[in-house]
Amino acid sequence: MMIRMPEADWSVLAGPPDVAARALLGCRLRANGVTVRLTEVEAYGGVGEDPASHSHRGPTPRNTVMFGRSGVLYVYFVFGMHWCLNVVTGPPGSASAVLLRAAEVVEGHDLARVRRAGPGVPRDRDLARGPARLAVALDIDGAATGTSLLDGTGPVQLLPALSPERAPIASGPRVGVALAADVPWRFWLDGDPSVSAYRRHVPRRQPSGGQGSQTATQ
């Protein structure tokens, strides 16, 4: 007779993104030989309700999976070099998600160090500290978009926390977003060293050549 562990209940992912975000803190993520414990996440709303969300203006080729069922990965490419991982949340069509911003590596440190090595080897607390760093540590890119985190068919598996988290959950404005910047939908485990540093969005100026090619609006 097979003894099997009770399967984790991830029904919270089918609910509102901020509730799902809080529930994801402390949970583990395993991919390609590395396991991490999530310490910082951000919630993003659906069509027309959150100007900072990729789904805000409706479906596009990039954000299609956000409109599907929850518990699936949405991985996007940003700034010409970085991948970021999201968990799709809410009922199909709601197009909300949770950005996985930072984590502590709890298994596979050696692999993570190799993947994250630059001129030097980063400190352990920095291995997955930041969304793009997390993607590198887990060796995940856009190819994983649309795969399930729950049923073992994809490269990334979501696992419950090993033990209840002791640290209180803190919340505040989201990092790096230009719109709706002060919606307090960033959540993190207070005091954890793997939580990334807060940075407000800074508008970029074009390296303008001085040539006033703009249409004069006078």
Residues that bind DNA (CB under 7 A): 42, 44, 52-55, 57, 60-63, 74, 76-82, 84, 86, 97, 99, 116, 118-119, 122, 130-134, 174-179, 196, 201-204, 206-207, 214
Q: Smallest distance, Å, CB 163 to DNA?
A: 27
Query: In 3D, which of 92, 107, 86, 89 has the Cα closest to residue 37?
Result: 107
For DNA, the closer CB: 44 or 187: 44
For DNA, the closer CB: 15 or 122: 122
Residue type, 101: R
Residue type, 12: V
- Which residues, 6+ apart, have CB-to-CB distance to 216 below 8 Å? none
Q: Smallest distance, Å, CB 64 to DNA?
A: 9
Q: Smallest distance, Å, CB 5 to DNA?
A: 31
Q: Smallest distance, Å, CB 80 to DNA?
A: 3
Cα–Cα distance, 34 to 54 (Å, whole number): 28
CB 161 within 8 A of CB 26: yes
For DNA, the closer CB: 118 or 168: 118
For DNA, the closer CB: 21 or 189: 21
For DNA, the closer CB: 106 or 132: 132
Cα–Cα distance, 62 to 76 (Å, whole number): 8
Cα–Cα distance, 94 to 160 (Å, whole number): 24
Query: In 3D, which of 155, 117, 160, 119 has the Cα closest to residue 137?
Result: 117
CA distances from 133 to 60, 140, 179, 195 (A): 26, 10, 24, 12
For DNA, the closer CB: 30 or 133: 133
Query: In 3D, which of 167, 154, 174 has the Cα closest to residue 37?
Result: 167
Q: Smallest distance, Å, CB 6 to DNA?
A: 31
Q: Smallest distance, Å, CB 190 to DNA?
A: 16
